Structure 1
Amino acid sequence: MSSVREQEAISRLMTFFKEWDNGNKVTRSRILNNFITFSQGKTGPELEQEFSQGGSLFLARLTTWLRLSYMFGTSLKEILQSISIFLSAASSGRYKVEFVEVGGILTLLEILGLKQLNEEHKMEALRILQILARAGRKYKELISESYGVRAVAECLAKSSMEDTQEQAQVLLELLAHGNPKYQTQVYKGVIALLPCASPKAQHLALQTLRIVQDIVQKAHPAIVEPLLGVLRSMHMEVQYEALQLIKELMRTEVRSALLQGLVTLLRPSRKNGFKAQPQILDDPAVPQMSDPLPSYIQQAACARSIGMLARESAELCDEMIRLGVVHHLLSVMGNIDHTESQRQASLAVEYFVSMSPIVEEQVRIAVGEKLFQMLMENAEMLYMKLDPIHVDVLVSNQVKLPGIKEVTE
């Protein structure tokens, strides 16, 4: 009796495959939609039972059609969703191996870079790559070996949909965890995203860097310049993540370079503008700001960061004083072109004065008793009370503390 049932099951399977093999686009699309509707959440054994132990044969047909048609987008979303059902099923190790063996990873990564495909296709490809990455170190290494980090990072930088960018971020984080052979590659790939034109991509890259930094532990010197460059962003969520990362990097070997960079950038200059960036990171839809506004935004962010770091640690406070930060901050306080720079600089100077009697004495001498009292009474609103004489005194201040190493441009 069981033999008869087996024969009937095999006959149904052969009929199904015949319909698929001979079907046109409409027929195959209908088959895929039915499969997606009725097979969501099934385990590997259940899928095998559904296909009379021929699940691998259907998966092979799906991957073959994917490789032949992915450049044209023909039923691509349905194909990817169907493959996802196989690979995400419990006890589906054999399906993952079969998919990878026929070049499935390379095909998915190529999908991420094709301009003619829409964001939904790329999102589905990212989800399948996430399924593979979650399956263990072997699959993470295969994705990384296939230049997957670069492909995913470029997708994050260039995508126009936040959902796609967020899926790319998730995959980058997965590739960083439990992948010691390639975690540094992921780290450098995310750093390369910082100069991109998309604020959302910058925001996600900074969030990812904070996670990956804990994994790699040792900070790469290449992070300093692009991280300071991000402070030019007009988007507060980007600035916030950048400041938090700067704070965390104070425990690493790039601490001195970051502090010197922050002090130097208190004086905005066109020379401090962005360097030329790869075309792949450009986004024509994002308006580009020219100097001097981004430089002043960066200046205000540097002053804010300096104040934040000084409050975090007395050691950092002393180190910045030795770098001559007070002289630069007083100059920024006289910058009538950007009130936020003035406000942040005033708050920082007020703190340095409160922490160091030597700084207090030198600032009092440099700006005069009246202006000093105005600073200490209400540093946050001082910029509103400055007259031309005050501004001139601040801009040309000659604060020189004994033993201070002045940071210059």
Structure 2
Amino acid sequence: MRSDTVADPHKRPPFDHAMPASSSRRSGWSKIAATTFALSAALIGFILARSLAARQAAALPPTSAKPAIRSTPPSASTWDERWNALSTQPNTTALTREREALLETLARTDPQRALSLADAEGNWLTRDQLRDASLRGWAAVEPDAAADWAMQQTVLGERMKCVAAVLAGATAQPDAALRVGLRLCTADPEPAGFYGHMLINALVERTGNFDAATRFATSANMIDRQSFLLDSAFYQWAQHDPDRAYAQLASLTDPTIRTSALKGLIEGRSDFDPRHFADFAQKLPAGADRTQALSISLQRWAGKDPVAALQWINRGDPDPDFDPGIAALAVSETLIAARPEVAMELTDNISDTTKRILTKSRVFLDWAQRDPIAARRYAEAVEHPATRETLLEDLKSLPTGAGKSKS
């Protein structure tokens, strides 16, 4: 969950007396431990998923190299008997999959016949599935030839589906798949972003080759959505091996490319295992990477398991990099609805003064909209005069009738 801590621009400027001047940061921080138990009781059940550069073509390797993979041709009689037997049965999902497997095997040695048999299918949906299987088999051994056939399809939608099948099959030879993928993206720029995404997904899902997926995304500078491809590649890699994914960032010298890759890495691991990634992020050297990693991971963790996130934060000393996680906890709708006083106290533990003020104001106004009488009672009981007056002033920004005690 992302937390927006910016105050409503239509309200008056935020107050700067959120805490008494004598209050120490450590004192405020210690309130986390005091409120963890209350949060545990209050939040049980809280559950809150990326003009193109044609010059790249000149740098691509030649397409004349032939792949080395070859399949042993199936026995003609055995293959034909099985194909004919399946083709005479009522169409089912399982049967279609068997026919796909047969055509994918045949296409490795006789792609034209495989495509012809697929084209003879009467059901258009099944026909597309059989055609794609044939293209995957062909591309596994002759990716360039299969890609040339796919590019001859004049209808854009059909061409896109055919290219996606070719790229999936080509992943049997990752280096060839990258070369062919770059060539296709350059030759057909309009759907290049789609092609790139399909190749990255195929490399990950069919081969688990995250390094190849990353190399493709890094090289695909002819695609105007390259940042999305990098985000996607590192997002998936981070879910499986965040240490290697982070180590790969060292080879990325372009700041824009690195920013996209880091974003994908952080979000991928935070979505998959926020506790593990928070531990990982905390060990990073002080700097922008650590700040961004902790900021995103704690916000997402707070959305999934606020009690665990709060307990994790409470293990260490005050740290400005924890501010986004604390703010995300404080402004969560579930917490404000169940224990608004706890949410208000949590804001006192935010290190950054501006963020603390804005978050406190947001929590209080949300509370006042839900229960104006209770919010006014809380504001009137605040001991610090400046804070008390500011909260009471905030109540005046609410719609008429809200925030006023009933006589």
TM-score, normalised with respect to structure 1: 0.40
Asked which structure has the greater RCO (Cα within 8 Å, sep 6+), the reply is 2
